[in-house]
Amino acid sequence: DGGITQSPKYLFRKEGQNVTLSCEQNLNHDAMYWYRQDPGQGLRLIYYSQIVNDFQKGDIAEGYSVSREKKESFPLTVTSAQKNPTAFYLCASSTPGGGSIEAFFGQGTRLTVV
Amino acid sequence: AQTVTQSQPEMSVQEAETVTLSCTYDTSESDYYLFWYKQPPSRQMILVIRQEAYKQQNATENRFSVNFQKAAKSFSLKISDSQLGDAAMYFCAYRRWAGNTPLVFGKGTRLSVIA
């Protein structure tokens, strides 16, 4: 079945540590996105990538980094510079044509700083 | 930059009744897409309905329909015959027409369904 897989589902981080959230898709989508969800804040865009080896900052990129070495994969690293990383993180992908213009989402990763 | 506003943080509806969730947006573009996503307690984002701005006819998907008012930049979601399974967070989202661009989301409306 085609879809987006995020791992792990739950992640705990000690202060000062970097952690990497995985996102893999087998939908053959060109674009991939990372959103952060906090209570009452909706979904806010962290980074997005429209093609391999290229990505752009979203509205809240500070303290995060990404890479896009393969079309299928778009990992997100939460660095120690992110002062308030506890949140729910959603990865999504999309394609510009073919009658399917919506974004498809993974099941999310809940990150908690301990 | 485009913005999406959902002015109702919480709503409730009796089972089998109808409820309307509001959404307004701001854009200077004439062509774009609008969406309603549902996020149940599992937190999986599920597409409910979508609307292309060039289409005058309002989109409908079974019990879900929209009232798209382009001039007013309004995109409300009507849920008819509400069911317990409709209880969720609902997000309105905007996407530019051109290119493979990110969706811009509102802050969401939490819908409770009362048995």
Q: Model confidence over B70-100: pLDDT tens digits?
A: 999 999 999 999 999 999 999 999 999 877 8
Of A92, A103, A108, the CB nearest to B43: A108
DSSP characters over chain A? ---EEEE-SEEEE-TT--EEEEEEE-S--SEEEEEEEETTTEEEEEEEEEETTEEEE-TT-TTEEE--SBTTB--EEE-TT-S---EEEEEEEE-SSTT--S-EE---EEEEE-
Contact B78, B65 (CB under 8 A): yes
Using the Cβ of B54 and the Cβ atoms of chain A, whether some distance falls under 8 Å is answered with no
Predicted local distance difference test score (pLDDT) of residue B100: 81
Using the Cβ of B110 and the Cβ atoms of chain A, whether some distance falls under 8 Å is answered with no
Of A31, A105, A107, the CB nearest to B100: A31
Predicted local distance difference test score (pLDDT) of residue B21: 98
Predicted local distance difference test score (pLDDT) of residue A100: 63
Cα nearest neighbour of B38 on chain A: A105
Please state, in angstroms and rounded to a whole number, the distance separating the CA atoms of residues A59 and A23.
Answer: 20
Using the Cβ of B50 and the Cβ atoms of chain A, whether some distance falls under 8 Å is answered with yes
Which residue ranges make up each domain of chain B?
3-114
Number of A–B residue contacts, CB under 8 Å: 54
Q: Token pair of B37, please?
A: 């996503």
Q: Which site among A6, A33, A102 would you substitute to test the B interface, given the most B Cβ atoms closer than 10 Å to its Cβ?
A: A102
Which residues of chain B carry a pLDDT beneath 50?
none
Using the Cβ of B55 and the Cβ atoms of chain A, whether some distance falls under 8 Å is answered with no
Predicted local distance difference test score (pLDDT) of residue B114: 97
Residue A93 carries which side chain, given as an amino acid letter? S
Contact B93, A101 (CB under 8 A): no
Please state, in angstroms and rounded to a whole number, the distance separating the CA atoms of residues B52 and B95.
Answer: 10
Predicted local distance difference test score (pLDDT) of residue A16: 87
Predicted local distance difference test score (pLDDT) of residue A97: 59
Contact A113, A86 (CB under 8 A): yes
- Say which residue the tokens 């999406």 belong to: B4
Using the Cβ of B43 and the Cβ atoms of chain A, whether some distance falls under 8 Å is answered with yes
Using the Cβ of B108 and the Cβ atoms of chain A, whether some distance falls under 8 Å is answered with yes
Predicted local distance difference test score (pLDDT) of residue A99: 57
Pairing of strands B109-114, B88-96: antiparallel
Q: Is the dihedral of CA A51, B92, A101, B31 positive or negative?
A: negative
Q: Given this structure, which CATH class describes domain B3-114? A: mainly beta
CB < 8 Å from B in window 66-95 of A: 88, 90, 92, 94-95
Q: pLDDT in tens for each of the 114 residues of chain A?
A: 679 999 999 999 998 899 999 999 999 999 999 999 998 889 999 999 999 999 999 999 999 999 999 999 999 999 998 989 999 999 999 987 555 678 999 999 999 998
Predicted local distance difference test score (pLDDT) of residue B97: 86
Predicted local distance difference test score (pLDDT) of residue B98: 79
